[in-house]
Amino acid sequence: SQKIEQNSEALNIQEGKTATLTCNYTNYSPAYLQWYRQDPGRGPVFLLLIRENEKEKRKERLKVTFDTTLKQSLFHITASQPADSATYLCALQAGTALIFGKGTTLSVSS
Amino acid sequence: SQTIHQWPATLVQPVGSPLSLECTVEGTSNPNLYWYRQAAGRGLQLLFYSVGIGQISSEVPQNLSASRPQDRQFILSSKKLLLSDSGFYLCAWSAEVYGYTFGSGTRLTVV
């Protein structure tokens, strides 16, 4: 069956460190993968999209990698700040709609 | 610019009562529209999606239904709510290959 797994439900790091979140998938061949941020009680907010022919994509302090051989995406936040604390979701296109992982909740302490 | 409106923000309904949640999009034409549900401690579950007026695809069999009476309007309904229908309901839109834009969500509690 198709699965999207974000291997850590929670990740705690100190301010200034780099946070690395992992997304693994099985039985998919996605043309692209997306990452979202969700704050409590709010809808997810789109952060980055990376296509299958792109190995890496950056946006300010965010970096996403996409390895279609390993079926894995890594999401990095450099120089993390307490304001980065949130749940981060990865998502794959399955047919016409996105299928989401359960998310990793990141807590950045000062 | 494109905006998405979803209401109400919170709703408490008794078991067996009907449900109607509405979502409208502004600033775009012929968007793809989606309804997701997020239960406590669980991920986002796709319920319905629509690629055009009157075109609805259901991902999960349940007592919910969706309709798209106008290009930028998407409605989620139920004739009789169950306790298991409680959750955070999110509407979203997308255009081609790009990120989804989500509404602010409706917190539904069935009592």
pLDDT in tens, chain B (111 residues): 789 999 999 999 999 999 999 999 999 889 999 999 998 777 899 999 999 999 999 988 689 999 999 999 999 999 999 999 999 999 999 987 678 999 999 999 999
CB contact under 8 A, B97 and A46: no
Do A43 and B99 lie within an 8 Å CB cutoff?
Answer: no
Q: Is the peptide bond before A82 cis (omega within 30 degrees of 0)?
A: no
Q: Does A98 touch chain B (CB under 8 A)?
A: yes
pLDDT surpasses 90 at A108: yes
Q: What pLDDT sits at residue B61?
A: 66
pLDDT over 90 for what percent of chain B? Answer: 79
Q: How many residues does chain B have?
A: 111
Residue A86's pLDDT is 97
Contacts with B, A 28-67, CB within 8 Å: 31-32, 34, 36, 41-47, 49
Pairing of strands A97-100, B3-7: unpaired
Six token digits for residue A45: 């907010």
Using the beta-carbon criterion (under 8 Å), do A89 and B105 form an inter-chain contact? Answer: no
Q: Do A45 and B100 touch (CB under 8 A)?
A: no
Cβ contact A97–B104 (<8 Å): no
Q: A10-14 and A104-109 as β-strands: parallel, antiparallel, unpaired?
A: parallel
Chosen from A4, A5, A50, A96 to mutate, greatest number of chain B CBs within 10 A:
A96
* B105, burial (CB in 10 Å: exposed 0-12, middle 13-18, buried 19+): buried
Tell me: the pLDDT tens digits for A9-59?
A: 899 999 999 999 999 999 888 888 999 999 999 999 999 999 989 989 999
Distance from CA of A44 to the nearest CA of B (A): 6
Handedness of CA B12, B18, B24, B30 (dihedral sign): positive
Taking CB atoms and an 8 Å cut-off, how many pairs form between chains A and B?
54
pLDDT at A6: 92
Sort out which chain A residues have CB atoms less than 8 A from B88's CB and list them.
Answer: 41
Q: What is the pLDDT of residue B96?
A: 72
**Amino acid B97: pLDDT:** 67
**Chain B residues touching A41 at Cβ < 8 A:** 88, 105, 107
Q: State pLDDT tens for residues A54-82.
A: 989 999 999 999 999 999 999 999 999 99
What is the residue whose two structure tokens read 């952060």? A47
